[in-house]
Amino acid sequence: MKVEVVYALPEEQSLIALDVQEGTTVMEAIVLSQLLNKYPEIDLNTYKVGIFSKVTTLTAVLREFDRVEIYRPLKIDPKEIRRKKAEKNKKLTK
């Protein structure tokens, strides 16, 4: 069955198309993609993974045409960004 494994950095994106057997897990697809070799900073103990933008586990079994996504940790909390932006806007309106 056909699946894809994706990992994105701000400056580049890697999308690897694979033909895998039924019963293949997210972890197995990631290993087969060789992205762990290309990007040694990927730490599957801390990075989250998903299928089509929905967080899942490394043991989840894939279905035909699934897209496995490896998510980098956020450097800045989105809530913190919004809070700082609101503070800045508040100062500008005074």
> What are the boundaries of each domain within the chain?
2-93
Identify the H or E element spanning 70. Answer: strand 67-71
Q: What is the homologous superfamily of the domain 2-93 according to CATH? A: Beta-grasp domain (3.10.20.30)
What are the tens digits of pLDDT across the range 10-53?
899 999 999 999 999 999 999 999 999 999 999 999 999 999 99
CB-CB contact of 33 with 3 (8 Å): no
- pTM of the entire predicted model: 0.79
Selected residue with higher pLDDT from 39 and 92: 39
78 pLDDT above the threshold of 70? no
